[in-house]
Chains A and B, each alone.
Chain A
């Protein structure tokens, strides 16, 4: 097992560029010394980064669609128990643009206790 991290998961995509800069200042090269996974799939600024990071496409359209569907469902069924949590799965997009659905976190819905 590697004695140091081999990758960094940047949860806030908008700071990806800063992460690149900070790593470069420390002579750590992305792609050679460490891999970057970010969530800023929607940001056009990512295309300026070299090498391109892998990203998580958070499927925002799907999340929005399901949220509105849920509102409508609740409106039509006002007495149904509420308080569920829905995880919308993201899609891993590698630095070459290949897409992989994240099977490890298939969407689930659970009651909040």
Chain B
């Protein structure tokens, strides 16, 4: 079955702006208004748009950088006070070490921008622990594959303990 990838032109047509505007909006260029940017991101998500960088690297498959990033909605020092969270961080780090992967921790709240180095050509994948700030969704969408741990909403595969299902 042939699958036609969504392009920037498709998003532009859907939103009613130029392809150039879409490109700028997806890169969070400050010249694009927040309203337009939000419309573009929403359309991109609905249409299943995968950025060229992802298609270029991701379609080949396989590890390239051996780097994973773990985005945390809380500061590490706060998470480490909670035994369960501390155990999870330790377990993830241990699992990565076993597989010769490097895991970087990045605090990701809704107020600050994500680090500039957080791009797909420097990473193989992304894990998220906690909630995903809506303003970062478009950026995170580019960092696929995305695995969400104890997260509500957001694009990617979700992993949960069944404790929330009750006793």
Given contacts A42-B84, A76-B61, A83-B157, contact A11 B125 (CB under 8 A): no
Contact between chains at A9 and B166 (CB < 8 Å)? yes
Complex formed: what's the CA distance from A39 to B83 in Å? Answer: 10
Given A67-B92, A67-B127, are A39 and B163 neighbors across the interface (CB < 8 Å)?
Answer: yes
> Given that A14-B83, A63-B161, A105-B162 are known contacts, is A74 also in contact with B167, CB under 8 Å in the complex?
no
Tell me if B's interface is mostly helix, strand, loop or mixed. Answer: mixed
Query: Main SS of chain A's interface residues?
Result: mixed
Query: Which single residue of chain A is at the shortest CB-CB distance from B60?
Result: A78
A64 touching B95, Cβ below 8 Å: yes
Complex interface: chain B residues within 8 A of A87 (CB):
160-162, 165
Assign chain B's interface to a size class: 35 or more
Q: How many Å lie between the Cα of A84 and that of B54 in the bound state?
A: 20
Residue with the greatest number of chain A CB neighbours at <10 A, chosen from B54, B161, B164: B161
Which chain A positions have C-beta within 8 A of B96?
Answer: 68
Let me know if B63 is at the binding interface, CB within 8 A.
yes
List residues of chain A with CB within 8 A of the CB of B160. Answer: 85-88
CB contacts under 8 Å to B, within A23-62, are: 37, 39-40, 42-43, 45, 56, 58-61
**How far apart sit A102 and B145, CA to CA, in the bound complex (Å)?**
30
A62 to chain B, nearest CB (A): 9
Query: Quick check: B91 and A37 within 8 Å, CB to CB?
Result: no
Closest to A14 in B: B82
Chain B residues whose C-beta falls within 8 Å of the C-beta of A42 in the assembled complex: 83-84, 86-87
- Residues on B with C-beta less than 8 A from A67 are 92, 95, 127, 147, 149, 159
